[in-house]
């Protein structure tokens, strides 16, 4: 069994996550598509005190990323919206692996968070078939009372149809979803065959390991229902085929792609600072981030203000191959300034001058990405 030190484990995870960034050939648009292929998904979020999470995550790996890339990728049918562990954009090439969840929701093996109103769902399908793509606001539901999560019956029906695969999101207008019949969104020649249980299990394992470098069964099946047995069986097969191997990290057993372990010989740019989104793929599993990077992180926008330790929307900061700081940031559009209200730096950072210099370059780039002319750090704490 291969044994990795914590620094080696961090290095492997970062290389597989495309962090920090390296110069790559090809157009900026193609690089953005390659990020999707590398990560497998990019989580969508609505908070906009800085650029929204999906744009931020893509920019963190492609410095030439432009928000227009995402609209173009959707329009060109190269990525699509669905659910990973949360709402996300996914590469269209992996569309067929969303079908098991859709089938389970459609047949009742899994439950929607909304109750199905089949009559209303059928009415919606007929309207979209006749009129073309529609948004939730285009439906004047006679049943206007709100239910469940506080949305109208038509919105709930649209989401049921979306989750079970009969509708897709063809585009967004001012961040509002536009729904279209699935067959009119999918590209020609796309493989839409239902994967076998073995194929699906192996996909879940290999997709996670290629994107994260290594992982255990709980991490590979994070927030996915009824797939642990599939993934466990797939692991056994992949180990027998020498595609995956067991590794030891700090006394715990993990699994890694045999091919990915070669990345340990590749140089990592440790002197580049990266400001990450709270929803970044690298640390969305908080327990993993704490175990591997010794970084305890909580997104405090959901915490009452009086109980916040770091701020409303603190962004994790990567430097020297690990997570070392948090920056509570907010864009001031009127002043065209990225404000860092509070910067908290771990005491593990020994060369403070080098860190602040690297962070300054990153904040300048991040401000520009947020369409700001400048940035300002209001306070710094070393903890």
Task: Give the pLDDT of residue 24.
Answer: 86
In the chain, what percentage of residues exceed pLDDT 90? 93
Q: Which two tokens stand for residue 128?
A: 């979209």
Q: What is the pTM for the complete model shown?
A: 0.95
Cα distance between residue 233 and residue 244, in whole Å:
13
Average pLDDT over residues 48-65: 98
Task: Give the pLDDT of residue 146.
Answer: 46
Cα distance between residue 298 and residue 314, in whole Å:
9
Cα distance between residue 99 and residue 86, in whole Å:
16
In the chain, what percentage of residues exceed pLDDT 70? 97
Using one digit for the tens of pLDDT, what is the confidence trace for 136-166? 999 975 554 444 434 689 999 999 999 999 9
Asked if residue 272 has pLDDT above 50, the reply is yes
The number of angstroms, rounded, from the C-alpha of 158 to the middle of its chain's C-alpha atoms is 23
* Band (23; pLDDT cuts 50, 70, 90): confident
* 337-345/374-377 β-pairing: parallel
Task: Give the pLDDT of residue 142.
Answer: 55
DSSP strand E in the chain: where? 2-4, 42-43, 79-83, 87-91, 167-173, 176-181, 244-249, 252-257, 274-275, 314-319, 322-332, 337-345, 374-377, 380-382
Using one digit for the tens of pLDDT, what is the confidence trace for 26-49? 999 999 999 999 999 999 999 999
Average pLDDT, the chain: 95
Using one digit for the tens of pLDDT, what is the confidence trace for 349-377? 999 999 999 999 999 999 999 999 999 99
Beta carbons within 10 angstroms of residue 265's beta carbon: 6
Cα distance between residue 207 and residue 189, in whole Å:
23
Average pLDDT over residues 199-224: 98
């Amino acid at each position: 069994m291969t044994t990795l030190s914590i620094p080696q484990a961090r290095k492997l995870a970062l290389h597989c996550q495309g962090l920090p960034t390296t110069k790559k050939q090809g157009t900026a648009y193609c690089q953005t598509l390659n990020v999707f292929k590398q990560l497998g998904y990019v989580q969508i979020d609505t908070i906009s005190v800085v650029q929204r999470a999906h744009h931020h995550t893509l920019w963190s790996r492609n410095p030439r990323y432009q928000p227009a890339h995402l609209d173009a990728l959707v329009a060109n049918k190269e990525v699509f919206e669905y659910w990973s562990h949360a709402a996300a954009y996914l590469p269209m090439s992996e569309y067929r692996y969303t079908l098991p969840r859709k089938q389970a929701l459609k047949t009742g093996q899994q439950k929607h968070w909304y109750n199905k109103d089949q009559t209303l769902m059928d009415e919606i399908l007929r309207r979209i078939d006749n009129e073309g793509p529609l948004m939730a606001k285009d439906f004047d539901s006679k049943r206007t009372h709100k239910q469940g999560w506080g949305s109208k019956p038509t919105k709930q029906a649209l989401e049921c149809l979306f989750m079970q695969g009969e509708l897709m999101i063809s585009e967004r207008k001012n961040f509002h979803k536009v729904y279209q019949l699935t067959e009119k969104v999918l590209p020609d020649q796309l493989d839409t065959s239902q994967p076998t249980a073995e194929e699906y299990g192996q996909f879940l394992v290999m997709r996670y390991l290629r994107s994260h470098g290594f992982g255990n069964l709980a991490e590979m099946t994070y927030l996915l229902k009824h797939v642990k047995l599939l993934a466990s069986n797939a692991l056994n097969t992949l180990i027998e085929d020498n595609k995956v191997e067991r590794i030891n990290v700090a006394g715990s057993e993990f699994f890694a792609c045999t091919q990915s372990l070669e990345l340990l010989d590749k140089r990592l740019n440790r002197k580049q600072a990266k400001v990450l989104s709270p929803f970044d793929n690298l640390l969305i599993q908080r327990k993993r981030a704490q175990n591997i990077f010794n970084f305890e992180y909580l997104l405090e926008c959901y915490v009452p203000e009086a109980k916040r330790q770091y701020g409303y929307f603190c962004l994790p900061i990567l430097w020297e191959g690990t997570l070392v700081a948090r920056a509570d940031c907010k864009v001031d559009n009127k002043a065209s300034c990225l404000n860092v209200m509070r910067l908290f730096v771990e005491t593990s950072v020994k060369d403070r001058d080098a860190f602040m210099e690297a962070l300054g370059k990153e904040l300048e780039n991040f401000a520009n990405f947020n369409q700001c002319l400048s940035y300002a750090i209001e306070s710094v704490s070393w903890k």
